[in-house]
Structure 1
Amino acid sequence: MKTLLCEIDLGAIRHNYRLLQRHAGAARVVGIVKADGYGHGDVPVAMALQREGCSHFAVARVHEGIKLRQAGIEGEILIMSGSFPSEFSALREFNLSTVVYTEENIEEMISAGITAPVHIKIDTGMNRLGFRPQKLEQVYQTLQRAGFDIKGVMTHMASADEPGASSIQQQEDLFFQTTDSFRNGLQEHITNSAGIFTLGKLGTLARPGIMLYGANPLPESSIDLRPAMSFKTRILQVKPVYKGEGISYGHTYIAKKDMTIAVIAAGYADGYSRLLSNRARVLVNGELAPQVGRICMDMSMVDITHISAKRGDEVVLFGEQQGRRIYAAELAEIMGTIDYEVFCSISPRVKRMYTGS
């Protein structure tokens, strides 16, 4: 094993894709592989999904779409954050679809003579990107007159991961009422991961992101997702610390008794957040060990007084070891964030290793 690595189980991602496709029914699942596949590796994940039959992919930026196409990803690749004039030629060269959500962007494309495949985004309540729903017909007509290949109409849910939220039904109703007269031949997509399980209607495409990677934004529900990422490191040194001594910067942890600590090769530069200091726990030889002292840039310390361990032993920051598991969601809760951010924060210097292809 490398000193520090993320193990990515592509078999788990393929399992999650099949599960989500079953739940999505007639709606085709789009492989969301933006942000380097939520830190899991965009190309390996997309290739695994393509082998599983996925024919639609989506990323946030044009350069992400280029990377996928150059790696041999076929089918539609959608740029969800749209594109700027400097990127228009790449849309044509690499056969990328782009989302349009402003009149200015449409005018830029028309002026440049670019009529790339487009998806129109309407804002049904997220109040992020998108046209107001009442503008859809005007936008559609403008694009049609200019000769654009209009592939679909889309929106984004604000609270799909909060079952019972009134905005779910409001957004769903507004979207399908707005798109009712545009359905012939157009793809409709409204749902993210949670929406597959909380919306009454999904349209023709579904856009699960985080669930593809095995994290569940609906913790109260029982969904057979398989976590795909394990974050692992090794012990650099085992050493005694005596009662009353402080550990790490600022001595924010003072030993209450004689103890044994392990210095491990993982710090905030690797994506093991400083916010976890004195609050997280890791797995060492199948046992839970609390993290102690401030997390440093490249190292952290854990209390292994109760564990027999030595230099070079594996340490699991999140993932499974000897039948026990720490979930990324546990770290996210400590940090006051979501597991999406935990995955995306893992540094590029952390080696990715793939299994289950």
Structure 2
Amino acid sequence: MINIGGASGGAWTLPPLAEAVVDLDAIAHNTRVLAGRTEADLLAVVKADAFGHGFLEVARTALASGARWLGVTSQAEALALRVAGIEAPVLSWLHAPDEDFGPAVAARVDLSVASVAHLDAVVAAAERVGRRADVHLKVDTGLSRNGATEDDWPELVRLAHGQEAAGRVRVRGIWSHLAGSGLPGDPLDGAQLRRFNRALATARRLGLNPEVAHLAGSAALVGRPETHFDLVRPGIALYGVEPLPGRSVGLRPAMTLRSRVILTKRVPAGTGIAYGHDYVAPVATTLALVPVGYADGVPRSAAGRAEVWIGGRRHPVAGRVTMDQIVVDVGDLPVRTGDEVLLFGRGDRGEPTVVDWARWAGTNPHEIFTGIGARVIRRYLPIRSGRRSGGRERVRV
């Protein structure tokens, strides 16, 4: 239910039109499964509101289930974790060099440094705050996004070593990001691993002794143990999506996206449905109106392929996905207003999964998760395993 305060002091309780149900027991299970596959420490990636799952809820669950670190992209995300009372190590890694890093340094947030300009900004913040900054130097080993190039790497290392000797920073980590598949034998990953080892050797030759080296995300965690080093960074796997196609390690999808039928109508054969009449009913059929659309994260590009689960069966989305609603062709199924509609879930009953939606939309599950809009409330199922106390379901609007 959604509680809304009224202007005159009253309040209304409204049933949600759509909700994303997040099973924290699945997050806990996935964290334990992933931690069990490596000797390295686990950094749970909770950027982008934990891929749309809720970053505080996921962060606390992952830390209670075996993760030692948390990873985010921005100072804002990192500081929100600190404000919420989370004391575990947090690495933040995507910044402009003109940011004021003072708040992050004061809050003991580890900062990724990808260039001399970034290092200078972090050092300036450390001097203002009066606290040594913990940094992770990032080397670009082939993804060609963030990180210092191989040519620029020695200078960044030398300057960082000098600032470490002066007590302004501690080079706590050296890291990079893989571009390949994570499959054993992938030549792209293999080339990056060799470059990363060379960068580590250069850093140590020039006097650095980092606490952690890290390279592997979800796929390499599962598929390439030689990339694990001291820390691994699972992202999509934490949320229950198997990172290597065709290779299950026993992860459990954590999110179910569901809505309900708000109108049904019987239409004759030849009825055109939604804008443009891209879909025309081939026979007399029943249409079910579902109040979710691309403003809620249902990808418009999935039209013509997407299916949803109603009454124990899959049914096609009829016509275009619009901003606020979709129409479903349920045939002769006796669907009624109020019936549950599963857009995606675990898939164990045959319902669509987030992987199905990603395929229909021509994207990845990451985009489906993070695209779920603010109108969709998140409801949390507590951990049931006994590793953490249970409690009532929690709702975040």
Q: Same fold (TM over 0.5)?
A: yes
Residue matched to 1:121: 138
TM-score normalised according to structure 2 size: 0.85
Residue matched to 2:123: 110
CA shift, 1:105, in A, is 1.4
Task: Note if contact 1:284-1:307 (Cα within 8 Å) is conserved in structure 2.
Answer: no
Residue matched to 1:140: 157
**Aligned letter for 2:331?**
T
Residue matched to 2:92: 79
**Residue 30 (1) aligns with residue 43 (2):** yes
Distance (whole Å) between structure 2 residues aligned to residue 332 and residue 55 of structure 1: 30
Task: Note if contact 1:283-1:321 (Cα within 8 Å) is conserved in structure 2.
Answer: no
Residue matched to 1:187: 212
CA shift, 1:304, in A, is 1.0
Distance (whole Å) between structure 2 residues aligned to residue 286 and residue 140 of structure 1: 59
Distance (whole Å) between structure 1 residues aligned to residue 219 and residue 199 of structure 2: 22
**Aligned letter for 1:305?**
G
Aligned counterpart in structure 1 of residue 254 of structure 2, from 224, 228, 237: 228
Task: Note if contact 2:318-2:327 (Cα within 8 Å) is conserved in structure 1.
Answer: yes
**Residue 98 (1) aligns with residue 124 (2):** no
Task: Note if contact 1:134-1:178 (Cα within 8 Å) is conserved in structure 2.
Answer: no
CA shift, 1:321, in A, is 7.8
| 1:234-292, Cα deviation, whole Å (9 max, x unpaired) | 00101012111111111111111111010011111100011122210000021111110
Distance (whole Å) between structure 1 residues aligned to residue 44 and residue 142 of structure 2: 24
Tell me the secondary structure at the aligned position of residue 69 of structure 1: helix
**Residue 205 (1) aligns with residue 231 (2):** yes
Residue matched to 1:11: 25
Tell me the secondary structure at the aligned position of residue 304 of structure 1: strand
| 1:168-192, Cα deviation, whole Å (9 max, x unpaired) | 1111122123213637442100001
Aligned counterpart in structure 2 of residue 247 of structure 1, from 273, 278, 301: 273
| 1:153-208, Cα deviation, whole Å (9 max, x unpaired) | 00000013454321111111221232136374421000010001232231100001
CA shift, 1:110, in A, is 3.1
| 1:33-73, Cα deviation, whole Å (9 max, x unpaired) | 00000010111000111222422111011101111111121
Distance 1:320 1:249, change over 3 A: same
**Residue 263 (1) aligns with residue 289 (2):** yes
Tell me the secondary structure at the aligned position of residue 345 of structure 2: strand
| 1:123-176, Cα deviation, whole Å (9 max, x unpaired) | 111111111235444322312322311110000000134543211111112212
Distance (whole Å) between structure 2 residues aligned to residue 151 and residue 261 of structure 1: 59
Q: CA RMSD in A?
A: 1.8
Residue matched to 1:64: 77
**Aligned letter for 2:158?**
Q
Residue matched to 2:34: 20
| Count of matched residue pairs | 356
TM-score normalised according to structure 1 size: 0.95
Query: Percent identical across equivalent pairs?
Result: 32
**Residue 167 (1) aligns with residue 180 (2):** no
CA shift, 1:294, in A, is 1.1
| 1:216-239, Cα deviation, whole Å (9 max, x unpaired) | 221121210100011000001010
Distance (whole Å) between structure 1 residues aligned to residue 377 and residue 16 of structure 2: 8
**Residue 335 (1) aligns with residue 348 (2):** no
**Aligned letter for 1:141?**
R
Distance 1:296 1:126, change over 3 A: same
